[in-house]
Amino acid sequence: MKEKKNKQELDKEFKNEEVVVEGEATLDRELLGDDKYIEALEEKLGEALADAVTCKNLTQRLQADFDNYRKRNQTLAEEMKQLGISMVVEKLLGVLDNCDLARKYISDESALQGFVMMETQILMALETFGLKEVEAEGLPFDAKVMNALEREKAEGKEDQVLAVISKGYTLNGKLVRPAGVKVGY
Amino acid sequence: MGKIIGIDLGTTNSCVAVMEGGEPVVIANAEGMRTTPSVVGFAKDGERLVGEIAKRQAVSNPDNTVISIKRDMGSDRKVRIDGKDYTPQEISAMILTKLKNDAEKYLGEKVTEAVITVPAYFSDSQRQATKDAGKIAGLEVKRIINEPTAAALAYGVDKDENKQQKVLIFDLGGGTFDVSILELGDGVFEVLATSGNNRLGGDDFDKKLMDYIVAEFKAKEKIDLSSD
């Protein structure tokens, strides 16, 4: 019963659409005459075709946007997890840097021992998330993981890392921060 | 139908963006950064380095590193690296290629068309040089847009079509500082005046702040942080 009623309503709507296109004047063949009627129809057809091209272009663009979005979203969850970890780890790198700087100003032997133990503990905790220090000392300079901060004349040690000025780190193989180094030339 | 990318080819840093769902989206480079240093380096083994990696090796390889090539666009100056001469267009093309590659990686499709911004004060020859750089990089440059105009468009000041208005644009880049006054009427931007300092930018602000903090810390704590 309900289905029948719906069908009747749809038929009625369809008929209405045939008679008057929303917001537009009805084309009356008798009133316009054949030539003008055809002319008006052709004009409408042209407009409709132009609209169709616009809509097709828009659909293609939206489809392409959506496909790209979907492709990127497939890996997004894992990336977001890694991003969350890296955000926390990056903040803690500042703490590790300061530990490095502060260590040389601690003169008390037992205080230094405790300090080093705490520093190691922080580093080990971060290592469980995939943090790894960039090895640089004595190695050939590699701009992929190192940042040259200074250079010094060093015979036989051209393009080699003479000293690490600030430590660099990778997180699960991805560079978080390059090692700041002094390079020989 | 491929996407058209928008490129801000800057003196210090460059940036690439694409329209997605009617909104501009900045594309992060392979290193995960939203801007790419406009630096090109030639490693000893002949490898060509562009962007962050080139910047990192600049101190250790200054003779074979090119920075701020934008300042030479449109001039006859050439950069000599290992006995080979490079035009500013060729060096800029290397930066554009890197941006194009990063955009292709992000979009997962080939990119062949771009819109590039240039300073409002750029002459015709400088604009042509920028177009040529795009061509060398395999990009058809659909438009060259004035940087202040692009900024005004990004802020949507053209949305109110009936309104005739004057806009002041401050563009503080890494190495340059530009101020432009634009007039907008009937959807057309006209650059009324432009001026600035092409040797002043955010990098100078950073350096001043750093020097100040180092000096203050040294005076108070007797420790020289500049060596850290």
pLDDT tens for A108-156 read 999 999 999 999 999 999 999 999 999 999 999 999 999 999 999 999 9
3-class SS at A12? helix
3-class SS at B89? helix
* B147 is a catalytic site residue: yes
Write down the pLDDT at residue B68. Answer: 92
Closest residue to B59, CB basis, from A57, A151, A159: A151
According to the 3-state scheme, what is the secondary structure of B44-60?
Answer: CCCCEEECHHHHHCCCC
Answer whether A175 sits within 8 Å of B228, measured CB to CB. no
Structure tokens at B86: 């490079």
3-class SS at A27? coil
Tell me which of B72, B102, B147, B178 is the catalytic residue. B147
Look at B180 and A67; give whichever has higher pLDDT: B180
Direct distance between the N- and C-terminal alpha carbons of chain B, in angstroms, rounded to an integer: 52
pLDDT in tens, A6-24: 555 655 554 444 444 444 5
Look at the alpha carbons of A42, A46, A49, A51 in this order and tell me if their dihedral is positive or negative: negative
Interface predicted TM-score of the whole assembly (ipTM), two decimals? 0.80
CB B164 within 8 A of CB B207: no
Task: Return the residue of A nearest to B228 by Cα.
Answer: A165
Q: Could you give the C-alpha distances from A60 to A46, A55, A66, B18, in angstroms and in order? A: 21, 8, 10, 16
The half-sphere exposure of B206 on its side-chain side, counting CA atoms within 13 A, is: 7
Phi/psi of residue A161, nearest 5 degrees: -80, 115
Look at B85 and B153; give whichever has higher pLDDT: B85
Element (H, E) at B218: helix B202-221
Mean pLDDT of B158-180: 85
User: Where does the pLDDT of residue B214 fall: very low under 50, low under 70, confident under 90, or very high at 90 and above?
Assistant: very high
Element (H, E) at B17: strand B13-20
pLDDT in tens, B114-167: 999 999 999 999 999 999 999 999 999 999 999 999 999 888 877 776 678 899
A99 to chain B, closest Cα gap in Å: 13
Structure tokens at B22: 């009617």
Write down the pLDDT at residue A19. Answer: 42
Give the whole-angstrom CA distance, residue A176 versus residue A171: 6
Q: What does the domain layout of chain A look like in residue ranges?
A: 131-185
Write down the pLDDT at residue B130. Answer: 97
* B102 is a catalytic site residue: no
Alpha helix segments (H runs only) across A1-146: 2-19, 29-32, 34-103, 109-127
pLDDT in tens, A29-69: 888 888 888 999 999 999 999 999 999 999 998 998 888 88
* B135 is a catalytic site residue: no
A127 to chain B, closest Cα gap in Å: 22
Structure tokens at B114: 């771009």
Closest residue to B60, CB basis, from A144, A148, A175: A148
Q: Does the pLDDT of residue B6 top 80, yes or no?
A: yes
Direct distance between the N- and C-terminal alpha carbons of chain A, in angstroms, rounded to an integer: 91
3-class SS at B118? strand
Write down the pLDDT at residue A7. Answer: 55
A72 to chain B, closest Cα gap in Å: 9
CB B18 within 8 A of CB B24: yes
Amino acid type, B68: S
Computed over every residue of chain B, the mean pLDDT equals: 92
Give the whole-angstrom CA distance, residue A152 versus residue A162: 8
Write down the pLDDT at residue B227. Answer: 67
Report chain B residues whose CB lies below 8 A from the CB of A75: none
Q: Could you give the C-alpha distances from B135 to B49, B95, B106, in angstroms and in order? A: 20, 12, 21
- Helices B88-107 and B124-136 sit at what angle, rounded to 10 degrees? 50
CATH no., domain A131-185:
2.30.22.10
Q: Counting Cβ atoms within 10 Å, is residue A94 exposed (0-12), middle (13-18) or buried (19+)?
A: exposed
Q: Does the pLDDT of residue B37 top 50, yes or no?
A: yes
Write down the pLDDT at residue A132. Answer: 94
Give the whole-angstrom CA distance, residue B206 versus residue B85: 33
Residue from B178, B185, B186, B184 nearest B117 by CA: B178
Give the whole-angstrom CA distance, residue B49 versus residue A147: 13
Task: Return the residue of B nearest to A185 by Cα.
Answer: B60
User: Where does the pLDDT of residue B173 fall: very low under 50, low under 70, confident under 90, or very high at 90 and above?
Assistant: confident
Closest residue to B56, CB basis, from A62, A147, A165: A147
Look at B54 and A72; give whichever has higher pLDDT: B54
Phi/psi of residue A157, nearest 5 degrees: -120, 35
Mean pLDDT of B186-191: 85
Write down the pLDDT at residue A17. Answer: 43
Computed over every residue of chain A, the mean pLDDT equals: 85
CB A149 within 8 A of CB B59: yes
* B90 is a catalytic site residue: no
The residue with tokens 């020859």 is B125
Write down the pLDDT at residue B228. Answer: 62
